[in-house]
Structure 1
Amino acid sequence: MNTIKGTVISINSANGVSEVEVKTPLGSIYAVVLESPGEAEFVKQNKQVKCIFKETEVLLLREKVSQINLFKGTIRSLEKGRVLSMLVVDCKGQEIRVMLTSRQVDTLGLSQGTKVYMLLSPMHVILEAEDE
């Protein structure tokens, strides 16, 4: 699991669902949660939280697209297996672990030092209140 710490800076809620914007060292990370303000400790303005996401929920792109939760980085390491590959991407000093199929690595022409864009779906970012 990847964990990035940040601060909730905005909340957009309707019908028990909230889009939460978290300011992090990467930039703004958006998460969709099934809680409204007051229902969960982490759906609160200025709250310190952790943004958590699985290695398998990160997409890597070679070209920039217009999308939220898109971060530029560089592949620092790549352990290629027969079926799966584990990559570490440096995004503004934060190390993000990414698991792709080895076929994806080959198709994208990825190797150590490759510049990439990392894309996170807001639906796959989990928020957890930071202990104060």
Structure 2
Amino acid sequence: MNRLRGKIVKIESTGLMSSVDVKVGEDVFSAFVLETPPTCGYLREGGEVSLLFKETEVSLAREFTGIISIGNQMEGTVSRIDLGKILGLVELDYRGTTVGAITSKSAVTALDLKKGDKVRWLLKSSELSLMEV
């Protein structure tokens, strides 16, 4: 499980759902959660939280151009690649923290990744969970 620590900078709620923006370093992640400030004590602007997301939810792009609907797009540097028979684990250095991405071996091979390569990693807002620090 990947974990990043950040500070809530914006919350928009409707019904039982909130869109929460969390600043990690200079980057802002957007997360959709089934909570609102009245139902969740730590959901407040200025509050510190951990962003949690599975390695299998991280997508990788190299030399990416274009517009897509995945808003969480961050830059990282490949620090390690571990290829298995079917899957591959790519570890990225993101602001001094390791972020893991698990994808198919064929996808890692097609990206032609090497240690030290700069890549963009993408994460859907619906795949992030928040945890109180």
- Do both proteins adopt the same fold according to a TM-score greater than 0.5, normalized to the shorter chain? yes
Q: Give structure 2 stretches of 5+ with no counterpart.
A: none
SS at match of 2:106: helix
The corresponding residue for 2:83 is 80
Residues 86-113 of structure 1 deviation map (CA, whole Å, 9 limit, x = unaligned)? 1110122221011111011012112222
Between Structure 1 and Structure 2, how many residues are aligned? 130
The question of 1:20 aligning with 2:20 is answered yes
Distance 1:30 1:13, change over 3 A: same
1-structure distance, mates of 2:90, 2:11: 32
The corresponding residue for 2:128 is 125
One of 95, 98, 102 as aligned partner of 1:95: 98
SS at match of 1:107: helix
The corresponding residue for 2:40 is 40
Read off the aligned partner of 2:60 and give its amino acid letter.
L
What is the RMSD of the two structures over their aligned residues, measured on CA atoms? Answer: 1.3
The corresponding residue for 1:5 is 5
Q: CA deviation at 1:26?
A: 5.8
1-structure distance, mates of 2:71, 2:102: 21
2-structure distance, mates of 1:79, 1:94: 18
Residues 30-73 of structure 1 deviation map (CA, whole Å, 9 limit, x = unaligned)? 11001111111232111110000000000000114445211011
- Normalised to the residue count of structure 1, the TM-score between the two structures is 0.92
Q: Give structure 1 stretches of 5+ with no counterpart.
A: none
Distance 1:53 1:15, change over 3 A: same
The corresponding residue for 1:104 is 107
Percent pairwise identity: 30
Distance 1:2 1:103, change over 3 A: same
2-structure distance, mates of 1:102, 1:26: 32
1-structure distance, mates of 2:122, 2:60: 6
SS at match of 1:43: coil
Read off the aligned partner of 1:92 and give its amino acid letter.
R
- Normalised to the residue count of structure 2, the TM-score between the two structures is 0.91
Distance 1:26 1:88, change over 3 A: farther
